């Protein structure tokens, strides 16, 4: 992804927006003068929403599909360096509210926004580090357990395959 700002800085900016609770690129205008955000992102100035949107448009379906594999690789690499004696895997679902015209989002269990379509992804976190090892997106109208067994098997298999020397303990176990 070619950019005057460097992909790593833009990724840090996107993660920073997520951490501070910004839900839209237009929220960049609220943090444009914040020196801490600029320092975290190593940017002389915070980019406009249009600039970030143009950068995001460069992603293709193939590059987006490669992101989970890259994430898993980076998490496993970090876990190998940490050489933990035990790894706790926390697997849980979370409701992600969407706009009305998003594909594959349906009304489901969302106690605060019952009429809004949502996704109900499964996430696998490494409890010791808080890193997301894996994600499986699901529509919002599915039961908690749908696809959970296969997802857990895949996540545990990935951990065992790469980190055979560390015992992996599902959270609560």
Q: Are residues 106 and 156 in the same domain?
A: yes
Q: Are residues 48 and 83 in the same domain?
A: no
Full-model pTM: 0.66
Q: Is residue 118 in a domain? A: yes
Q: Are residues 105 and 48 in the same domain?
A: no
- How confident is the model over 4-19, as pLDDT tens digits? 678 888 888 988 998 8
Q: Are residues 52 and 129 in the same domain?
A: no
User: What's the helix, strand, coil split of the chain in %, to 5?
Assistant: 45, 15, 40
Helix (H) and strand (E) counts in the chain: 6, 7
Q: Are residues 41 and 71 in the same domain?
A: no
Q: Are residues 104 and 30 in the same domain?
A: no
Among 19, 37, 57, which residue terminates a domain?
57
Tokens of 102: 């998003």
Write down the pLDDT at residue 1. Answer: 43
Question: Is 108:142 a contact under the CB 8 Å cutoff?
Answer: yes
Q: Are residues 49 and 74 in the same domain?
A: no
The structural domain count of the chain equals 2
Q: Is residue 2 in a domain? A: no
CATH number for the domain harbouring residue 150: 3.90.350.10
Burial, 20: exposed, middle or buried (Cβ in 10 Å; 0-12, 13-18, 19+)?
middle
pLDDT tier for residue 140 given thresholds of 50, 70 and 90: low
Work out the mean pLDDT of the chain and round it to a whole number: 82
Which range has highest mean pLDDT (34-38, 82-86, 90-94)? 34-38
Q: Are residues 32 and 98 in the same domain?
A: no
pLDDT for residue 70 is more than 50: yes
Give the range of the structural domain holding residue 39, as residue numbers without chain letter: 7-57
* pLDDT above 90 as % of the chain: 20
């Amino acid at each position: 992804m070619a950019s005057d700002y460097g992909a790593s800085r833009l990724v840090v900016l996107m993660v920073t927006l997520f951490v501070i609770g910004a839900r839209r690129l237009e929220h960049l205008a609220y943090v444009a003068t914040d020196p801490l955000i600029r320092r975290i992102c190593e940017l002389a100035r915070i980019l406009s929403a249009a600039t970030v949107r143009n950068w995001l448009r460069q992603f293709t379906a193939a590059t987006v599909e490669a992101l989970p594999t890259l994430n898993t690789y980076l998490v496993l690499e970090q876990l190998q360096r940490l050489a933990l004696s035990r790894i706790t895997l926390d697997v849980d679902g979370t409701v992600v509210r969407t706009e009305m015209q998003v594909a594959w989002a349906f009304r489901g269990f969302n106690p605060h926004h019952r009429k809004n379509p949502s996704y109900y992804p499964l996430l696998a976190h490494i409890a010791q580090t808080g890193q997301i090892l894996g994600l499986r997106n699901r529509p919002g109208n599915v039961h908690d357990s749908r696809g959970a067994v296969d997802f857990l098997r895949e996540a545990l298999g990935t951990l065992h395959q790469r980190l055979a020397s560390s015992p992996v303990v599902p959270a609560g176990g």
